[in-house]
Structure 1
């Protein structure tokens, strides 16, 4: 089935809110198409997800639907309007929330709403009623005087959503709204979006988080500008049948076991899932057996329920296989004692306590995760541990050195990869490596050898003369990590290193990290991606400035298991533990009020 008949078949009943026919977009006449002959329809009253790896064309598609770009060929209608000829009418019918926070950080919540209402022509009583409705809908009524730049990540996304909805859109375009947002805020965003679809609004949600795509009524999968799939996520997941398995019992060897499993031709994908290893086999391959995997541990392998992410990675050809040669444990010098220690760390900003008496210890060769809702104190704690923020009281040590009494020695023992790309975009890849090698005190032959090792380990050779700012996201990530470990540090701090990164790139990144940990490196990482947190040996959950839980991912999941929730995910555990803490605080507050009254 092709052409119009295929489009109509995908959108029975109500008329589609958007229709693309043979849509093509090129940014240069001779370059490859960013979108290549796409045909699809978007139904009203549901969430349609757009998923795909970095560079697949997701943002280009959203900008075309918003009338911000013009197609090279083909046609695109949104809300019945041609995106080229009827752009003014189109803009009155859509809401668009761009990928990057597009509001004014030096204006308050109310000032941003007022500015966007002026731009959209929302005035008088309509404005008052709309503001009241949107502030209640997004739960921002308490924060109208707060600067947008001072909002948490989740609150920023809610404000962006409110500004996009000022004109009661018929179709709402959300470009990766969940990036950098904690699980609680993401769940709240989804609740708001589902309320809108109940009113008949069509929502298009692009995402790099495949658990979000799995929540959509339909999903469009793109790769290199081509449409690979449109339909229900469950139908796509069913394609891999019984090819997913959990390998259990590998214990401390699970990272090495994963690397060995991925080297096999019959294993197309593999990730760590808490203490287990999740594997997906090639089509037609026999189920793996313990004898297939070389390990001294008594392992078991059992079938696992397939996930949408499994099907997505299989559709893209599986996880890239390459050998990662990182430094061995013998080549990394360690001092005695824990690799990282936080001792009663406290940080106050005026009367506000962002981190309150936080203590933990990280063993050598361990991946330790710092989790927490936006604004909970996680980033403050992380910055104190990196030496970027001085604590009000308490001590932070890296490889035995106090970050504040011996800062130079402590910083020489750590590598740091910032949340945002922090290298020099106008310098080439080689120039960046040369600069950071010098910044870490490397000179002469030692620096040259370190740079060559990094180039080989991260496959940067073809990009050495490219400006860092023009690299694809995955290679920016490789370069940032390569720069952070040039001096061969025993401790590596990663601040949301894969925020907004697609699953294929994320797997490659963590394959490199796992190889480094197997070589003796200790890693502390912050993340909002709960599947990624399962790579950690232990995680600490920070909330309201305190550490409210510290354990293995599996133990935290077991802690919230109930008859109603027999198989909780780590995200379920995250939310349940935060809600439990809130309930305890409310009960304590009620008890204190009763005591005062008595």
Structure 2
């Protein structure tokens, strides 16, 4: 089998904002085979996107040899970028759809740009529209599509010509489990039916596990490589499941385990239990003492287990002398935010949020339909649903950013119809997309938002410094140039700087790697333990396991409400939240389709007899 990519010792640097050079890639060597799926995984800032842009001939390496599809892309006179670009299709993280154009017009535009002959377009369009499920929406403007449908259209536009190599840079970021499943079905169909060669970067380890070859990048270097099975073996014999005592949220056991870095490499809630990886050197007696009597059972190692073990071992080796200082720095902001909430909230028996018959319409379209729920103080409440389900609309109403068409909304004990500005002072909000000022530094952003919430002088300076230390941020770094995970850290720091009673997180971990997600949720758990109420939307179903209760929405309607265990039971005893989510949404859609079909029959019958 031939190689479509051959890289030997390639390096790439960029000018750093504060001066000097930023090493994005350091002597990377790899080979990708034709007709296979190849995955690039790694934490934020590992160099995945830089490598993808080199493979797409959009950048040139500073050193080393790089050949793509047999064409040289290294430095010197032999470089052949056009020869590569004419044979590949590249879908970057932010694919450039034209939102004012329809689905069909976007396809036509990209076909024109790639010189696709008119004679072959009809058959190509028909196949792409069938695979993506967009055939019924060809006249709809791209801007009116849900996030998942936009990603499918982006993939269709990328494939309007038949490439020899498809490059996908995190194609499923911000996409719900149903749409993510559909996207991968399309990609795998192309690989199996056409022998298409695909290189994909991803933050989802279950996606990487579908690939023939996986490269783990970290700090610009290849940390490990191999088939998923060979990588899994690195964690063999180290992985277990633990069950917390009855009545205790799994996140409490998970927090205790993940804090014990000397003994535990990783821990994450799953299916009402906690999956953990012990460090290879950890003694059975020390781990048993840490578990405090929790029942345990060995389990097979997964690719994410191997990934987390590799990263933890690498970081522990690099930061051996920094752990205590980092841990000490991480305590003030979360602890003080929780303490202030506990001191300031008097009417603890009242819910933090009360929603009754909430409705929001946009013209003739109902985005949220008669939704009701309550959230207790100190509760972590998850709002889940497919792209376009109405989650963000609900969030914006709860934050006072969007008025409700009808219904009652109380947030932090205040009626949003009569005290919206006052309520905003008691909440923090992290949006789906980076919403801070990209031309300001991290410190300047925190100073601005702290000042907007009334902080002044020494108190503002103290909180800014603590926030930078807790979230591991360089205060002088330009915000707009930060990697995705660091942008989310900064957004979180800005949302917490005024010590809010309620924290709204709208897909806060979208596009960030498992390592960053663990750190993010450890901070959320600490906030909830101190009495801060957290409302979160997410497309990572494993994150629903951190929640006390979850609600699942689709088409603006509430489909399920309860603890993670209750929701899994509602889905017929599903083993995990991913399966439960898909089952509940698909069942509701099938029921709605049947009702609609029956309604159509009744209307036809009425017309016949009247």
TM-score (norm 2): 0.89
**Range 97-106 or range 251-260, more displaced:** 251-260
Q: Distance in 2 between matches of 1:357 and 1:346?
A: 5
Partner residue, 1:48: 38
Matched, 1:502 2:510: no
CA contact (8 A) 1:258 1:270 kept: yes
Cα distance, 1:266–1:347 mapped onto 2, change above 3 Å: same
For 1:352-385, what per-residue CA distance to the aligned partner results, in whole angstroms no more than 9, with x for missing partners? 1111001111111111111111111111111111
Q: Distance in 2 between matches of 1:456 and 1:197?
A: 46
For 1:406-435, what per-residue CA distance to the aligned partner results, in whole angstroms no more than 9, with x for missing partners? 112211211111111211122222322221
CA contact (8 A) 2:271 2:577 kept: no
Residue number among 571, 588, 592 corresponding to 2:578 in the alignment: 571
Matched, 1:17 2:4: yes
Once the two structures are TM-superposed, the CA of residue 185 in structure 1 deviates from its matched residue by: 0.6
Once the two structures are TM-superposed, the CA of residue 561 in structure 1 deviates from its matched residue by: 4.1
| SS of match in other structure, 1:17 | strand
Matched, 1:229 2:224: yes
Cα distance, 1:279–1:481 mapped onto 2, change above 3 Å: same
Q: Which runs of 5+ in 1 are unaligned?
A: 1-13
Cα distance, 1:581–1:254 mapped onto 2, change above 3 Å: closer
| SS of match in other structure, 1:100 | coil
Cα distance, 1:257–1:137 mapped onto 2, change above 3 Å: closer
Partner residue, 1:327: 335
CA contact (8 A) 2:271 2:575 kept: no
Q: Distance in 1 between matches of 2:86 and 2:462?
A: 59
Once the two structures are TM-superposed, the CA of residue 451 in structure 1 deviates from its matched residue by: 3.2
Partner residue, 2:320: none
Residue number among 552, 566, 569 corresponding to 2:563 in the alignment: 552
CA contact (8 A) 1:289 1:301 kept: no
Residue number among 260, 263, 268 corresponding to 1:266 in the alignment: 263
Partner residue, 2:239: 244
Q: Distance in 2 between matches of 1:490 and 1:123?
A: 59
| SS of match in other structure, 2:128 | helix
Matched, 1:338 2:320: no
Q: Distance in 2 between matches of 1:65 and 1:451?
A: 40
| SS of match in other structure, 1:95 | strand
Alpha-carbon RMSD across the aligned residues, in angstroms, is: 2.3
Partner residue, 2:126: 132
Matched, 1:62 2:52: yes
| SS of match in other structure, 2:182 | helix
TM-score (norm 1): 0.91
| SS of match in other structure, 1:25 | strand
Once the two structures are TM-superposed, the CA of residue 439 in structure 1 deviates from its matched residue by: 1.1
Once the two structures are TM-superposed, the CA of residue 286 in structure 1 deviates from its matched residue by: 3.0
Once the two structures are TM-superposed, the CA of residue 327 in structure 1 deviates from its matched residue by: 2.9
CA contact (8 A) 1:290 1:299 kept: no
Partner residue, 2:367: 354
Q: Distance in 2 between matches of 1:549 and 1:524?
A: 16
Cα distance, 1:282–1:212 mapped onto 2, change above 3 Å: same
**Aligned length, in residue pairs:** 577
Q: Distance in 1 between matches of 2:85 and 2:221?
A: 27
Report 1:141-540 matches (<5 A): 141-198=135-192, 199-250=194-245, 251-252=247-248, 254-264=250-260, 265-287=262-284, 292-293=289-290, 299-318=294-313, 322-323=327-328, 324-325=330-331, 326-327=334-335, 329-332=338-341, 333-334=344-345, 335-336=347-348, 337-460=350-473, 463-540=474-551
**Range 588-597 or range 176-185, more displaced:** 588-597
| SS of match in other structure, 1:327 | helix
Q: Distance in 2 between matches of 1:284 and 1:452?
A: 36
